[in-house]
Amino acid sequence: MVGTEDLRILFDAVCNSLDFGSGFLDTEEVEALRRLAETLGVDPMVATPSEFRAQYAHDFEPCPPPPGPWRVSTMGGPIETDEAYAARVAAVIARCRHCGRAADERPHTLKEAA
């Protein structure tokens, strides 16, 4: 009999594979991985390759902010101001880390205001 720990090891091997998200999984396989994730108590988005993420409802999670501000001129360009850096951060964190869409766009689940 296959135990939960064995399933978790296989799940981790698949989801952490260098080939994960390279297009070798089809919809049926992604659905199976998402069900396995739920069974193991893992967020199903972990088992969802990026090209499938926009198909599934999920909570909005902002992208991590970019590094910076750039204080050293790169390739002869201007040094980034604090205002320019703030605008760059705002543009990045306004996008979901799972699907790249804005918070008010589908497939994000709508949370009720507390």
Residues 6+ apart with CB under 8 A from 12: none
- Please report whether residue 89 resides in a domain: no
Is 30 among the domain residues?
yes
Task: Give the helix/strand (H/E) hosting 93.
Answer: helix 82-93
pLDDT confidence tier of residue 34, bands split at 50, 70 and 90: very high
Our count of domains for the chain comes to: 1
Task: Report how far residue 10's alpha carbon sits from residue 16's, in angstroms, rounded to the nearest whole number.
Answer: 10
Phi-psi region of 41 (alpha: psi -120 to 50; beta: other; left: phi over 0): left
Residue type, 64: P
Residue 80: pLDDT band (50, 70, 90) is confident
Q: Is residue 49, in this structure, part of any structural domain at all?
A: yes
pTM of the predicted protein model: 0.65
Determine the length of the chain. 114
Task: State phi, psi for 94 to the nearest 5 degrees.
Answer: -75, -5
Q: Looking at the domain assignment, is residue 98 inside a domain?
A: no
Tell me whether residue 16 is in a domain: yes
Tell whether the model's pLDDT for residue 77 goes beyond 90: no
Q: Which residues constitute the domain of residue 18? A: 4-55
One-letter amino acid for residue 28 of the chain? E
Q: What percent of the chain has pLDDT over 70?
A: 88
- Report the C-alpha dihedral over residues 97, 102, 106, 107, rounded to 10 degrees: 10
Residue 57, amino acid = A
